[in-house]
């Protein structure tokens, strides 16, 4: 992937994501554009049938900040929407290298604020709000949660972080142990980070949430990791830092799995278990 253009990489990732297949059940979905800091942000809103306001999940897709979109993560969001059940808003934030850091952070902040302001209109209850994401999206969910804490809102009740990027300095052993041969390799991760940061300091907390000075007062979290994933150690280190800061957190490693297994329920039994675990965690965290 690191030898491709961004357009080629995005097309390849879309083909990989299609392997996940359609969801077992589907909620009504609507594509909209909402105001953002640099123009409209595309979102996809999933609304399960319900006679009461539902909790709300704002989902940020993975893809190294360079690839992925609301279409590649449609099945994941459908499963969460139906399973919890919840109104799920999937955010098509701006991608690097065309829009480097902190463009994605700004879009995700703005989208979360918009969802809170319009939750009732969407059939949701903003008092029961979660942020969620996988890989780069897990990074963005963690950053949005911390920035919301620092800003005094919006009130986020739970964060779901699936193999999140938490340390852009790549200083943990799993980057070497699983850096070759397990789909997400060292060269691709380097390309993602360099494309996203565009020369910005990788140690700042809006890029590397693990390196934030203070993680106290953050929402309860589920952190999912995979055994053969370069991001395994930094995800588990983030969970441990949350725990040390007094944040209720569950760290769940899926042995034998690689990066991007989440959502591939048609291929991996472990992916089915991860879907069930994340649905249950969101349901309990937003109950």
Specify if 218 maps to a domain.
Answer: yes
Specify if 66 maps to a domain.
Answer: yes
Write down the pTM of the prediction.
0.98
Specify if 244 maps to a domain.
Answer: yes
Which candidate in 103, 135, 174, 208 is catalytic?
135
Number of domains in the chain: 1
In the structure encoding, which two tokens stand for residue 23, read together?
């969801």
In the structure encoding, which two tokens stand for residue 34, read together?
């909402």
61 part of the active site = no
Tens digit of each residue's pLDDT, the chain (287 residues):
889 999 999 999 999 899 888 999 999 999 999 999 999 999 999 999 999 999 999 999 999 999 999 999 999 999 999 999 999 999 999 999 999 999 999 999 999 999 999 999 999 999 999 999 999 999 999 999 999 999 999 999 999 999 999 999 999 999 999 999 999 999 999 999 999 999 999 999 999 999 999 999 999 999 999 999 999 999 999 999 999 999 999 999 999 999 999 999 999 999 999 999 999 999 999 98
- β-strands 28-34, 41-47 pairing: antiparallel
- β-strands 124-134, 54-60 pairing: parallel
Looking at residue 130, which CATH number applies to its domain?
A: 3.40.50.1820
175 part of the active site = no
- Do the beta carbons of residue 142 and residue 112 sit within 8 Å? no
Which candidate in 206, 229, 233, 265 is catalytic?
229
Rg (CA), the chain: 17
Domain hosting residue 233, numbered range: 6-285
Specify if 1 maps to a domain.
Answer: no
Specify if 31 maps to a domain.
Answer: yes
135 part of the active site = yes
In angstroms, the CA 162 to CA 236 distance is 11
Specify if 88 maps to a domain.
Answer: yes
Specify if 255 maps to a domain.
Answer: yes
Specify if 116 maps to a domain.
Answer: yes
């Amino acid at each position: 992937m690191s030898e491709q253009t961004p357009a080629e990489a995005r097309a390849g990732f879309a083909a990989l994501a299609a392997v996940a297949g359609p969801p077992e059940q589907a909620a009504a979905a609507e594509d909209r554009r909402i105001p953002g800091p640099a123009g409209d942000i595309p979102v996809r809103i999933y609304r399960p049938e319900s006679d009461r306001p539902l909790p709300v999940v704002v989902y940020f897709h993975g893809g190294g900040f360079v690839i992925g979109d609301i279409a590649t993560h449609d099945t994941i969001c459908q499963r969460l929407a139906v399973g919890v059940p919840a109104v799920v808003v999937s955010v098509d934030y701006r991608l690097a290298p065309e829009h480097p850091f902190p463009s994605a952070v700004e879009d995700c902040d703005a989208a979360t604020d918009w969802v809170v302001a319009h939750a009732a209109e969407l059939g949701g209850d903003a008092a029961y709000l979660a942020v969620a994401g996988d890989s780069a999206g897990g990074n963005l969910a963690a950053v949005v949660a911390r920035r919301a804490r620092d800003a005094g809102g919006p009130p986020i009740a739970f964060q779901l972080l699936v193999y999140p990027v938490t340390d852009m300095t790549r200083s943990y052993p799993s980057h070497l142990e699983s850096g070759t041969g397990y789909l997400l390799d060292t060269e691709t991760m380097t390309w993602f980070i360099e494309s996203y940061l565009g020369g910005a300091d990788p140690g700042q907390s809006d890029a590397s949430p693990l390196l934030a000075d203070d993680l106290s007062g953050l929402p309860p979290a589920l952190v999912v990791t995979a055994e053969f994933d370069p991001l395994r150690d930094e995800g588990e280190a983030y969970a441990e830092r949350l725990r040390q800061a007094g944040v209720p957190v569950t760290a769940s490693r899926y042995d034998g799995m690689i990066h991007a297994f989440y959502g591939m329920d048609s291929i991996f039994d472990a992916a089915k278990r991860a879907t069930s675990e994340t649905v249950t965690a969101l349901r309990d965290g937003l109950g």
